C-alpha cells in the first residue's frame, strides 16, 4: 500500500470526509443518520475543530487522497463535561483492516497530549429505552428499530419473574415490591450492554419515574415515550392474542403512569415507519 501520511484536516478535505461518512450512513447500521449529508450540511461539524485545543481533526492521506479521519469533539453541551471529549474514526471501505485506524488514533492522542482533558469517550453504544403503557406499540416499534439498525432487542416483559406473570394473567396489578426483581434484571441487562459497548433497544413500560431512574445506568441511555390515548390502547389490547396483559388492567397502568419530562415523546398513532425514522433523528440530536 502507498505511504500514508497523517496531518491536520483542511477545508479542502471536507468533500472527501463527507463521502467517507456517507458510505457508513448508506451501507451500514453504525450511525443514526438516515440520509446522506451534503458538504454544506457538514460545514458546522467541520467548524468545531481547530489546529490547537481539545477538538482536533486529523486525516490519513495516501497517494490517491484521503482514506480516513479521526477527531475529538465535545462530549456534552454542559460545563461539567468541558474536559471530556468524544473520539470518532472513519476509514474509507478500501482502507479498512490495514492499520490506518490505529495510526490515526495514535496520532490524535499524541496531538492532544498536554491538553486539559480528563476523560476520553469512544463513540460507543446507545441504549434506546422505549417506554409506555401496554398497547402503545413498544415491542413492534422496538423490533423494527433494532432490525433497521442491526442492534440487539429485548422485551422487558420477558424478564418478569413467573410469579409476576401469574399475577398479571389473573388480572392482579403488580406492586412496587413485585417489580423490584424485574427492574434489577433490566438494569443488569443494560449494564451488560454498556460494558460490551453494544447498542440495543429495550421495550419496557417504565411507568414511574423511580423505575426509569433505576434504568438510567449511564449517559448512553435514551428514553423514548410512546404516548397513546385510552381509545387506542383499548383497541390494541382487544386485538391481542396470547399475551397476559388484558384490557381489564389498562386502567391500572394508566393510573400508575407518571408521564416523563425531558425525554423524546412520540405519538403512538403514527405509523411504525414514521416512529422509527423519528427516533433515529431525535436520538442523534440528543447525543
Give the pLDDT score at 80. Answer: 84
Q: How confident is the model at residue 89 (pLDDT cuts 50, 70, 90)?
A: confident
Q: Which residues pair with 127 in a beta bridge?
A: 200, 221
Share of the chain above pLDDT 90, in %: 52
Q: Please answer whether residues 206 and 212 qualify as being in contact, where contact means their C-beta atoms are separated by less than 8 angstroms.
A: yes
| Grid cell for residue 38 | 451534503
| Reported CATH class of domain 5-122 | alpha beta
Cell of 234: 383499548
In 3-state terms, the chain is what percent helix, strand and coil (to 5)?
Answer: 45, 20, 35
- Residue range(s) in the chain whose domain bears CATH number 3.40.50.300: 127-286
Question: 229 vs 220, which has greater pLDDT?
Answer: 229
Q: In what order do the strands lie in the sheet with 221-227?
A: 152-155, 200-203, 127-131, 221-227, 264-267
Q: What per-residue confidence (pLDDT) applies to 123? A: 60
Q: CATH code for 127-286?
A: 3.40.50.300
- Most confident segment among 71-80, 86-95, 257-266: 257-266
DSSP 226-261: EE--HHHHHHHHHH--S-S--GGGHHHHHHH----S
User: Which residue carries 491536520 as its cell?
Assistant: 8
Give pLDDT tens digits for 133-170: 988 999 999 999 998 887 899 999 999 999 998 988 88
- CATH 3.40.630.30 range(s) for the chain read 5-122
Amino acid at each position: 500500500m502507498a505511504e500514508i501520511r497523517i496531518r491536520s484536516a483542511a477545508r479542502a478535505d471536507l468533500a472527501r470526509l463527507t463521502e467517507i461518512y456517507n458510505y457508513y450512513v448508506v451501507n451500514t447500521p453504525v450511525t443514526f443518520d438516515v440520509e446522506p449529508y451534503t458538504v454544506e450540511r457538514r460545514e458546522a461539524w467541520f467548524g468545531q475543530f481547530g489546529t490547537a485545543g481539545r477538538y482536533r481533526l486529523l486525516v490519513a492521506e495516501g497517494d490517491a487522497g484521503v482514506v480516513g479521519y479521526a477527531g475529538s469533539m465535545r462530549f456534552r453541551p454542559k460545563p461539567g463535561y468541558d474536559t471530556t471529549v468524544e473520539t470518532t474514526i472513519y476509514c474509507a471501505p478500501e482502507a479498512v483492516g490495514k492499520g490506518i485506524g490505529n495510526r490515526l488514533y495514535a496520532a490524535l492522542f499524541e496531538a492532544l497530549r498536554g491538553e486539559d482533558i480528563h476523560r476520553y469517550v469512544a463513540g460507543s453504544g446507545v441504549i434506546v429505552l422505549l417506554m409506555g403503557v401496554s398497547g402503545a406499540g413498544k415491542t413492534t416499534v422496538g423490533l423494527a428499530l433494532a432490525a433497521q439498525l442491526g442492534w440487539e432487542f429485548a422485551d422487558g416483559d420477558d424478564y418478569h419473574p413467573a410469579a409476576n406473570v401469574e399475577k398479571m394473567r389473573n388480572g392482579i396489578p403488580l406492586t412496587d415490591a413485585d417489580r423490584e426483581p424485574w427492574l434489577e434484571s433490566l438494569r443488569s441487562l443494560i449494564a451488560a450492554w454498556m460494558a460490551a459497548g453494544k447498542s440495543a433497544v429495550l421495550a419496557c413500560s417504565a411507568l414511574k419515574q423511580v423505575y426509569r431512574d433505576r434504568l438510567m445506568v449511564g449517559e448512553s441511555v435514551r428514553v423514548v415515550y410512546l404516548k397513546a390515548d385510552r381509545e387506542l390502547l383499548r383497541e390494541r389490547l382487544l386485538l391481542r392474542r396470547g399475551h397476559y396483559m388484558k384490557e381489564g388492567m389498562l386502567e391500572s397502568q394508566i393510573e400508575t403512569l407518571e408521564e416523563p419530562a425531558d425525554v423524546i415523546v412520540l405519538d403512538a398513532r403514527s405509523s411504525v415507519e414514521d416512529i422509527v425514522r423519528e427516533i433515529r433523528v431525535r436520538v442523534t440530536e440528543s447525543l
